[in-house]
Amino acid sequence: MTVLIVTGTGTGVGKTAVTAALAALARDRGGEVAVVKPAQTGLAHGEPGSDTDEVRRLTGLTDLHELARFPAALSPEAAARSAGLPPLDLHEAAGYLAKLARSRDLVLVEGAGGLLVRYGPAGGTLAGLAGWLAAPVLLVTEPGLG
C-alpha cells in the first residue's frame, strides 16, 4: 500500500498544484493513481472549483475522491459544525484509503489547511491519519527566507 499525505503550512500554499504534479508524474510513469480530498471546505455541494476539480483540470486524472464537503471556509471540524453536519470520521477515512490503496500504485491524500488542522471534535488531524496508515507526509510551504 502506498499512500502519501500532502499537507501544508496553511491554505493557499500550493498543496493542490503539488498534488497534481505528483499525480501526473506517477501516472506518466505507468502507475495507477488516485487522489483523495478527505474534506473540501469553502464550497457548497455541487459547486465547482474544488481541489479535485483543479487536479482534474491540470492532469486529466479521473480517479478522484472527495469524502466530505462543507460550505464554510474553515477547518473541517468548524465547517462541519457551522453547517450542522457530522464531521468527517478519520477512522472511516483511513479504512477507505487503505482499501483504495490495495488496487492503486499510489494514493495521494490532499489535506485541508495544515497538518494539525482539526477534522473532528475529538481532535483528529492529518498527522493522526498518516500515523494510522503508516504513510509518509509531504509538507508544502510558501517560498521565503527563514
Annotated catalytic residues are: 37
According to DSSP H, which parts of the chain are helical? Answer: 15-28, 51-59, 76-83, 90-101, 126-133
Instruction: Copy the grid coordinates of residue 69.
Output: 464537503
Instruction: Copy the grid coordinates of residue 136.
Output: 509518509
Q: Give the sign of the dihedral formed by CA 130, CA 136, CA 139, CA 145.
A: positive
Report how far residue 30's alpha carbon sits from residue 7's, in angstroms, rounded to the nearest whole number.
Answer: 25
